[in-house]
Amino acid sequence: MLELIAGPCSAESREQVLSTAKEIDSIDGIKWFRAGIWKPRTRPNQFEGVGDKGLSWLKEVKKTTSLKTMTEVATPFHIEKCLESGIDGIWIGARTTTNPFYIQELSESLKGVDIPIFIKNPLNPDIKLWIGAIERIKASGAKNIYAIHRGFSFADNGIYRQTPYWKMPIELKRLMPDIPIICDPSHIAGQASLVREISQSAINIGLNGLMIEVHNKPEEALTDSSQQITPSDLSTLLKELIIPQNIIENINPIFTIREEIDSLDFELINIIKQRMGLAIEIARIKKEKNIPILQVKRLDEMIIKRIEKTQGTILDKDFIKDIFESIHQESIRIQNEIIKDKNN
């Protein structure tokens, strides 16, 4: 059975929290209500959450609905306040997971505490850092630990806010099979229209649940308005998802492999884009120095070196030759365009 978590990115007002929670509570299968009380923001003078007073709103959610409540913590003070208010679970955000010092402080504060703890992946795709955060929290004695896959920051995330890079949660599942993994499709998507697609992909590779940002009026949200959906949209999304009865036993290995292939292909595209960016820099230098665009000797040397890298592999040399000749041709085309523009 999927672990389903829903709620607004931020708790903004009592009315917003209770109204959203009531609508979510009417949807079958939702177990948790999430809302950020303390919001870590990239720059100052942005909405940084309502703070402690939001905890009383979550207490009301707990009293007036069947939902369990959860919020993000980043300091021992946050944990203390959550425990005082009877919050049912906490999650640790990606920015906090990135710093072992912060995680160690939280671990110390969680000793003797027996509530579910959800740990988001770090911003960068570092599996050891993610595992290290889980291990530190485990050392506190916590037994009910979940991982949350919320995507990773790359130089270019394409259509997503955060690259899904499915290889990473798949690897975590392999290395720590006892840790359930929840997908946060909202942060990966960055836009509401992609949330369903990412949710289905997460289920296809056998992840254990979804944490979806849901707001009663997304267009008025003070944070992440573009990626939040309405409770009605959530209900429709969950009905449309293809969910196996037993997630673990019904994982389709082809889906898992295909998702990993997609991640690698997106990486390849990003690398090629970076390579062509360097071609643009070269074109500008060639223009200034009056150097011909095509350097046949350089092309021959490049192809030879790339083919040498195939030794001891199953890769066909002609295949590698064709790939890099095509890349070189595209580089030449781009350089020609740059020089043409400068001439004009």
Answer whether 0.85 is exceeded by the pTM.
Answer: no
- Based on the structure, what is the number of domains in the chain? 2
Tens-digit pLDDT string for the chain (344 aa): 789 999 999 999 999 999 999 999 999 999 999 999 998 888 888 898 999 999 999 999 999 999 999 999 999 999 999 999 999 999 999 999 999 999 999 999 999 999 999 999 999 999 999 999 999 999 999 999 999 999 999 877 888 999 999 889 989 998 999 999 999 999 999 999 999 999 999 998 889 999 999 999 999 999 999 999 999 999 999 999 987 655 544 455 676 677 778 778 877 888 898 889 898 888 888 888 888 877 778 888 989 999 999 889 999 999 999 999 999 889 888 888 887 765 55
CB count in 10 Å sphere of residue 252 = 12
The answer to whether 261 touches 315, Cβ cutoff 8 Å, is no
Helix (H) or strand (E) holding 118: strand 117-120
The answer to whether 145 touches 104, Cβ cutoff 8 Å, is no
Q: What does the pLDDT read at residue 340? A: 73
The answer to whether 113 touches 142, Cβ cutoff 8 Å, is yes
How many residues in total does the chain contain? Answer: 344
Same domain for 23 and 34, yes or no, is yes
Provide the Cα torsion 65, 68, 69, 75; round to 10°: 160
Q: Which residue segment(s) compose the domain that 160 sits in?
A: 3-251
> What CATH number has the domain bearing residue 292?
1.20.59.10
Q: Give the CA radius of gyration of the chain.
A: 24
Domain edge (last residue) among 203, 232, 251:
251
